[in-house]
Amino acid sequence: MNKSSLRESKKEATAHALAEAAFQLALERGMDGFVVEDVVQRSGYSRRTFANYFSCKEEAVATATVPYHDVGEFYELLNRMSDSTSPIDALYQFVKMQLAEETIRRLRQLFTLSESYPNLKPYTLTAVQRLQRETQELMAELFRETHPRDYNYLLVGSVFSMIVPMFDGTFRVLLLGESADDASGTQSFDNYFETIFGYLRNGF
């Protein structure tokens, strides 16, 4: 690993540690129950370091819900797929990778927190938008020679417009280990995910 890569890796680790500390404090105490000083004490960094990465504790809390993904892992996956793989099928694989169970659980917790603490809401949306933007850029790069950029952006946007209701509670989607309640419309994550992509493949 060269010096530049090592430096970026250390920066990423620092940001992650700060964000994780903020997120855990938010879950334990609520957003009103801690301040930035608590975050830096728990993470072992200084207040100045915190300011280098985040503008406020709300931003740090939201950032903890968006995991870092090694895009190289996705490229390896694509290399094992047929050359005729469509954007929809490639997107299916990548979003599945993004939305690991822990990521979904954390995003749900973030949305729940934002209902009680309105100052958190803009950063909640930013977290989802970051996932969407990264996906759009990747898809546009992968299929730049076969599909227009706006096609890939629209495709990704359609998927994420159906994913957000899973986080904010509009649709009741069960994760592994969760049991169904009496609410109508409850379904497993796998079924919900297949439904989304079924609509896309069938052109609605």
List, for residues 153-181, the tens digit of each pLDDT value: 999 999 999 989 988 888 888 876 676 66
pLDDT (tens digit per residue) in 133-143: 988 988 898 89
Domain that holds residue 89: 71-201
Residue at which a domain ends, from 43, 63, 83 = 63
- Measured in whole angstroms, the distance separating CA 97 from the mean position of its chain's CA atoms is 10
**Best CA proximity match to 140, nearest among 128, 123, 154, 125:** 154
pLDDT at 40 over 70: yes
Shared domain check, 192 and 92: yes
Question: What's the number of CA atoms in the CB half-sphere (13 Å) around residue 74?
Answer: 20
Shared domain check, 109 and 32: no
Shared domain check, 145 and 116: yes
* DSSP conformation class of 170: S
The tokens describing 142, both together, are 């992968």
Find the CATH number of the domain harbouring 146. Answer: 1.10.357
Whose tokens are 């957003």? That residue is 31
Shared domain check, 122 and 174: yes
The count of structural domains within the chain is 2
Of residues 70 and 169, more confidently modeled? 169
Q: What whole-number distance in Å separates Cα of residue 45 and Cα of residue 60?
A: 14
Contact 43, 12 (CB under 8 A): no
pLDDT at 70 over 70: no
Shared domain check, 165 and 183: yes
Shared domain check, 58 and 32: yes
Q: What 3-state class would DSSP assign to 66?
A: coil
Indicate the pTM of the whole model.
0.84
